[in-house]
Structure 1
């Protein structure tokens, strides 16, 4: 277990400038003493040595005040040092040593230096290795005065924050923040994916239209190919007829060639007879000619053999000379290798002798050095015995030497600082010049970069303005297309609705249709209106009126008969169905004499009264059907209010509620509907034009967007470069300013440092004089003898060690040289063997060449004799062959006319064959063309009709193809690619959603782990509080969450219930009870983060005797697992302590005394 073995103090607070050592032990250590004696300063020294840098925790205004200030006149000794010796037997601290000594020194300027096992180090390194063993001081293992009171006043939120900090919940918050950042990026990616999907979805419809155009083009091309096939079949028929005609002529020429060939055969037989005679003579001549040729060939072969043997003989002699030269060179190289190896063996022998000598010398030196070490160990033992006797007498010199060490260390630091300042100043001046040059270059680069960015901004602005213009055009085109589409859709709906009604009117309601057509030009035609429009009535009489005049209510009303005739002629011209016309002037202007005449219930203008009387003046309005029948029997007309019309002969017309169909207005607008349809067609054509313009505009926008994107990317890159350059320039300016400030500080600090150095040199000289004076008073006989003997032995040891090192070095060099010589020897041996083998090979080759010279010379002589004999035989044969030449010439004269006739016949046959070949070529050409056309035809063309001329159809298809708009050949592939891309985007969107869900799940997991960690820590603290509080007071205490549903947003209540009292919140307790509850809370918190040692500074100050004793029992129990060092004035802690230190002041300086083993012995340091 890691624990503190020892604490050493020098010049720290109330401990004066003397070495104070406190030897500690595991378990409970008590420090006691009167107020102001400095007992708490021991705990401050421990945490100071372990790296504490807070003046508040060290209880000083600033760190420099930890240096003792009692000896104010001794300013040169203003330094404080604290060392903590830690037991590291279990290697919990990552240092390979059983003891770890941590030392911190601070001067009166507040400058600290750290040492780890007497090696200089840094505070961060010390804190890191202590953190590994959980031994770094913190507020829970170093409980200061007043901390218990602060704990007792914690609010629920502060209490919760304390536990969170103990278990490190900030780690979960950091992970959550990082995950939320990832979630935000995932959401942005998902938004981008959805936006891209919407954009692609809008483009798919346009691409689908382009794809359909391409498909239509492909269909037309297939039809064109079909008609091209018919055209090819027609060509095949033509070629086949040509082939048949050429074949017939070819057969005729073949017959002519056969007849001519027969005549030629007869002439050839006569030629052959003469040729046989000539051949007989020629054979005899050839026999001698062959003999002559054979002899000539043998002569040539013999001459060639002589020449080959001559060349071979020369080559063999040349190879023999080369072989002899190589053999001489090889023998010379072998002699050189033998000589070199002889010298090398001599060197190796000498080196081996030297190496053996060095081995013997090295052994002698080692034995002598061991003897010197043995003597030196004896002298050192003697010196240790003398030193132990002399140790007490050297106490007087200890302070001087410590002071001298301090002054020398300060002098060394000052001198080193002066030298470092000079070196750094020189380096800073050089770097300042370099940085100024770099600044100049960077400013020039920045200006050029800004100029480029300004130009690029203008280009971007121009492109952006152009894009805005194009976007406005696109928006306008889209709006126009949308308006046209909306208008055409609505117009189509309207025209469709009116078309159905008009068709109905034309088929059924002839009169309504005619009236509606005429209503358009009614004012010009003189039509006053329709009858039902000029008359009005109450709804009560409507059924009666409809039963009487339903057929005449739709009649046209005009002023006079001329107008009626004019309208009738127009009706005939328009070929309209039946129309009723009533001229007002032709109607009788008489009043009805009937009582209750129906005309009396109708209202109209005065001038239309004849119309009313004409239509309804002869009908009586009755109350019932029986009354109406009575009127009708009196040769009158009657009608009831229910629409029952009774005419002459008791004929009855019943009206069940019919109305006048007002379709005339609808029919009158039919011309407008037709005009609207024409306008719709024009709008659709205009929409197509707008669509083409929109497509062109989209392409331009895409091109400009791509260009703008590239320019913006370039601008972003250059902006980043400019920003980096500006940052670099700014940082360089800061570096220059820092260097200038450092140089000014060097120059301003240098005089003071030199003065301080001179003062320290004087102090060092003075202290050395004091030490010399004191040393003269100490008997030095034994010490001087030991020193002389030890110095002699050390000198001998040094000399022998130097000799041994030299001998080892020489021996190592000789070994290396020996190995090098061995390597060279092996190389020479290998080279000699290779040369010997080459020498043997050359000797054998030379012998072989010499043996082959003599046979070659003999063979050459024989070949030359053979050539001479063959030349004599050749001359004899030439003389015998001259007689056969005469007979052969006579045969040639007879053959000449026959051969001429044979040649003429051959020419005739050749001419016929040329014609035949020409026809054959034509046939072959026709068949090749036939085959080419056949190869281009698709399969299954047998059923295709060839009697149809395909040209008109092909012209029509070509015209349609030429009339098609420009096609995008990649439209189907683009449509498929975009559709596939849309599916890929959908899959990518799903992946992004899965990633987002994964991040959300991770955040939830982090929240769960954080909650669980917090609850586990809460349970540990709560369990410890219950246990400790029960031991200390016999009561109950526990923790409660203010809101269990929101554990991180609410605080923690600390509930306490003392025996025979009501439970209360800890902040409402009395002073002593509150202190007890706070101590319990601190002890419980320590379980969350156990430490190998704990420091308590009067934690029991406000406890009564009973609770103080219980606290001492608990600390004694916990001291079995950790070391507890407690400053206390209570006797209960002293009773339980394993080691007790008492602190008391003497002349303003704190003194320490320790007690062990139940105070049976006391030792004062």
Structure 2
């Protein structure tokens, strides 16, 4: 443990110009002496040596008062050295003793610091002392009056002291930074809400368009439904026809069934005759069957006879095999018995070898146990080395942790320096900008003053001009009053004709272009308009108009050159959209081959087949890619196959079914003549224009006068506003300049303050870096010591023992292997012996089985020989019977002819009935065809119904009118519909959801920051409450020991710890608890002392300096306090100045201070038994 080992003082305060050496030890060291003897100067000297720079802290008014003889300029030198015991390397230096020396000369008043005799800076000294919590201005130095100041602390100041000790300012910095981030997060969230508001407006707009789109789709759905009702009505009509045809068909089926029944009766009679004929044939065949049975029996007997003979031969062969096998079995049994005798001898030899190997293996295991004992002994030595290494590594870890803490502090200091630099640079820029703004503002003020004078002069001139213009305007109005009525009547008549022409001109833009270009048909080689040059079959007019709707008003010209000339003219005149077809391209056009639709009754043909023109290639060019079909369903199916199809009703389907156009009766409008007539109306309008020019000139003069009056009035108003604005701006600039000139000195002062702060921060950063320089060598020394731990000898010995152990283990393994091999061989021999025994048993069993089988086979052979003789006798008798049946068979031909005649008559009658039935079947077939056609028609109608989305028939109703009304509304809505409204609405809604997600993310980020702030507050509170608990516990224990009473800390605001202070409630024995500030003087001192001791326990220091902390205590409390100090000095060093005998008596080392000729003298006494001071021999003290 670091503690003060020695103090050397020269020329400091009451100590003269000779070295005074004071030796210190651990434990409680007491310094006593009369008042004014200089005992407290010992503590001041220690404070001076460790860097204290406050004269007030060393109880003087100025540094010059620290010199012993301030009036003698020749002896103005102070030198104080403090030596620390550093055996445990608490101070990061590889020295057992660390000496700090401070010298100060009277001439310059500057101090020099030395560390073990080498000059260093004060910062280096401070850094070393902070490592062990021994720097000045800490709670380990308790000066005179400090107890009194602590006793007067209010609750807020007590809380701040605890905060400063545990370092809670770090949490406040983190909280301030987090609050800045929270402010930024709030701003981002506001922006997100604003953008969401804009998107919400767009959603409302799209929702209206989407409603129109949904209405459009709803009308389409209703149209489909009404068309489905129409199809349902047609299906019912077809089904009625189908029912009538089905009824007729059922009548024919009934007549056909009667005829079929008659045919069945005739066929049954024929079958009866056929049966009788077959029965007769069976009787004839009976004799033949008997003959066949005899033949079958004969064949079976022959088969049995042959089979018996074969089995007899097999039995004889088996008897021969058994007789050969029985001698072989006897020879095998003898060979196995001989082999078994040899294997038994081998087994006995191997069993003896197994016993020998087991004895050798037991000896090897005994040697292995001895070697393992040696391994454990060497391992214990290595473990001790490992413990020492672990201890050094733990110390290195603590020093590394200190280094990391210093590096973090240095990093925070660098960040503060950067922030300070940024603020200083920003302040300099702002200062320069402000000065520039002041100069610019003064320049603008001068310009505004000149502008004011000029504007006032121009205002007076404008007022004079207004008066003159007012007189001119009155004269012109009188002249125009009569002319206006005549011009109005003429204009009304021209407007009537112009409206008629305008209606024709603006009814269709294409007609306007046609009318304009028709004037120059010869110039541009125009042959005509398509609808004038082609003719078509009236039956397919709707299909033709639907297929060629876009080209019916196209120009037909001679060649491409004419087309380009028209296009140039149209571009020059800005004519509306038009189409042009050059005949030379039409002549070269070849339609692409299309699929043949033979056999498809729904396909009528290509549209070009029904269109005619004197230009033969023109119909092919316009209509060859369109196919005419009979209904919309067929057109839709062809479109799905890639064709352009149109129904005869004018329903056009583009390839792949991508789009559909309907034309149920449109006509080709021709407004060209009306537009040409409009040219005359325009000429009339031109004449009216020329007629009104005379009046317009007067109006122009009047307007000019009015405009000049309005301009003059505007100029007057503008000048008045400008004058007012300039006056306002001049006043604002004046106020702004005054305010900025006032701000300039403040900003300059702020810049200087930031510069001073930057210097202080740089000094602080240098201090941290020097501390790092001191700590790094310590880490290196610890690393060197770790490397110096040599456990190689023990490890080498362990390796040798392990080698011996491995050899023994190897020999034991080899012996085990050999034992296993011998055991395996022995087991093999025993297995073969068992196998031979089983084989002998099997041979004996086989011999018995073969003997029994031989007896059975001999008996079976005799039985089969007797059976064969019996079968030969029976076969001879059957062949004699077969010859008798062949001789007795007769002739049945005449009976069979009679049956044939009867069957022929019945078959003729059956043919007549069958012919009538066939006629009825043909009629039924025609009816079935009609039914099939009606069924097919019904199926097509049902398919159309399904295509519309309905699987069952709808209720009948008249829907023609509803379909027309809905179609009209459908077209009206179609003109204003936005078909992408729903898609856009979905996209914008997705964007809105994305923005909502982003808002949620921002809210999450904000909540995270809030949580982080709450965590900081929580950690700060936890650290404070931990320190609060430690101080409170120490106060309770110490106060109880000191006074026998009770004392505790209590928070003023437990809900918000940092919004209130910390109260010290004290209850002396026999008294009620009161706040420490409400106690008497002596009680305050006791409470403050206890509070101070508790604060010191938060950050323990290796040594404490206390100057008369027991001065205001009575004898009883002094005695109790001294006991507490003695108890605490077991773990650290307490150097205490005191006048109380009870305190001095308990000290292990006592220094007495007394004055002699103005110089403090020091005597030392060691109190081995800590006896009362009265028993101390004064002579012994003097001798020391």
TM-score with structure 2 setting the length: 0.37
